[in-house]
Amino acid sequence: MRLLGLDPGLRVTGWGVIEVHDGRLRHIGNGVVRTRSGDPIGDRLVALFDGVRAVIEEFQPEGAAIEETFVNRNPQSALRLGLARGVVLLAPAHAGLPVAEYAANQVKKSVVGAGHAAKEQVAMMVATLLPQARAESADAADALAVAICHAHFSQSAARIAAMMPAANVAGRAR
């Protein structure tokens, strides 16, 4: 299964594509979509949408995951980040992909083992789990971490779903 991870931002949105096969992870690609801070907000949102859509067209993922963002400082910055996040979420949904969302702490715990890990620790574990990957930036490494997190959670969900019919049959046999 090919998965797209996204780390949304208005100025820089990271993306990472991995493949999961028999529990093994393989790096496919990573990078960033950049916008120019002097451009009108509408133009920047279009650039984000078009950039993520181009990644989807090039790599043909079967699912996507996006990191939830938390900003508690400047309300104006939080609003702009929310707009960017909405557009980044819309692009894979518009392409018909199932989209999962993960809290930053959930991504860090899944990849590093600690929910409050530093960015450097996340990047180090991404490099360990995907040794062939050379993340273009911290944003791209974060996006790969989101994809890894989604791979872990989706595999667990698939295993549980596969066990459910057997559990229901066994429960009725009693």
67 is catalytic: yes
- In this structure, what token pair is assigned to residue 40? 């009108």
Out of 50, 67, 101, 142, which one is annotated catalytic? 67
The three-state secondary structure class of 102 is strand
Out of 43, 57, 136, 139, which one is annotated catalytic? 139
22 is catalytic: no
Q: Which residue has the tokens 């050379």?
A: 134
Is residue 7 within 8 A of residue 137, CB to CB? The reply is no
7 is catalytic: yes
Out of 7, 19, 22, 136, which one is annotated catalytic? 7
CA dist 91 and 48 (Å) reads: 9
- Phi, then psi, of 7 in degrees rounded to 5: -115, 95
Sign of CA pseudo-dihedral 3, 57, 53, 33? positive
The DSSP code for 130 is S
Residues with catalytic annotation? 7, 67, 139
